Structure 1
């Protein structure tokens, strides 16, 4: 009798240990108008590198969630898809969405990691939930490695405007590890033939007295590629003088290249371009195949947002401009003379 009880206890302990060391990531999939954000697809790729199960969470209103779920369940590396619909989730704010995440991460939760892209929404949501659960959160990671033997996860993330890389380890004592992913550091997850992740509905958590309400969303519309995912980017700086000159100089070049338009913070602050076009530490981080910096001196904050680009072309009248230190092709010249010539050559 004693022997039988001993064996049962040992087996129970073995199962608990296996569950604890087997990663199971919950990925917050963001979407807009029924299309999954490419940055969330990169977060899914990062979650897959943990080496365990991956579950996606899709929230929103009933109009778009079913279509997003159909897209998600065919993605490579995804084990299951959780979805929750509510009018409150049409434009979810952290105060409304965090109770749902807390419910999913209760004591009986199988999840060991919570993952998202480093988006505006996630930067508000994940740290909030992590704080309520009294666990740390690691932001903007560019690599990760999970050690199954000691159930720890090691991340790397840029600090000091990208001039240094910090290595951060979340030990086994952290029950749930939260982290956000820099989308340019991971490829987007692809649709896999034959993939069919399990789908499960989750009841929403009603928040009747939310202190915050979504008022409106203003999106800068453009026929050009989206800056965050474009393979070619043409950016301008303060040297472009004013908004009219910025548009008349950069837009024709971007159109002939099929490129997105970006701007330095100086150009945005001066009113030359919309805030949504800002590239840099406090703007968007991009890593296109081609990045053209026109009239941009190359402040450290701007370099942090584009220095991982595959080919960097810089045009500036100042031969000592810092941008030339990272440029693959540099031209010391007046951009107002160079750009029209370049457009003409490209059209030919």
Structure 2
């Protein structure tokens, strides 16, 4: 095959789908294309972050791959193939011809590196890739949709895909998949060059439903008692680290709702040092019935500036629903639902 070069290359849609599947496994995957093409294939680098390690794979991406391509495309034991689908026969051919592995847009993958093994087979891709309407509400998509909704509510515009990736901590492929699903909904949730958000209230309801269903398993919280703060009101008056945001009843009380919190929920964005400082400040001790609840945040960087150190309205609504208390439902409906 002839080799050609060009100055710019957009990530193919099938590559975005392939790396988004890796993101659903909990790996941070990214594609960086180079300026080299080999016929219908383009070279690049597949970057995967997992368990605190970063792995780089030399890669070739091609939507279609024939038996001849497997033999003729330049590769070695460190080169992986990214394509629409790798059927078992093609997988054996790749192994026989000395490829380093593969990832496809159907969800199959065979990747190996020091401390990393990914082996998924049996996934099938339809003739035309379907619109993945569930993408905004999967484990990987929920933080993206949250960042989109929260930033849009605060700034009035939808952030760029890269900004959503930075805020949510998701891969760019996952973000693109979420945006594509929202654009291709019927009727659409996003439209136009700048992804104008439509039917925000409907999208918020769907997000809350997905978050409340998945929260206990994906963002489990820990409970603590304190020898410094013996009541919720004492903790509400204490200074908190800037990356700690109040949720649920505590946030509702801080925002003026007529409620006396029975516990204090605090969302942390992953800053381990600040979390330790809070534990030391309050002399916290783990206890199953403790009034202080620490929960991992569903964002990497807050998508909008917090108000009075409380979580955004969307998350407070979801938190209050999780309490499953009719008394709290009345507060939620009056203070945090759309009018």
Fold in common (TM above 0.5): no
TM-score (norm 1): 0.29
TM-score (norm 2): 0.29
- Going by fraction, where is helix more abundant, 1 or 2? 2
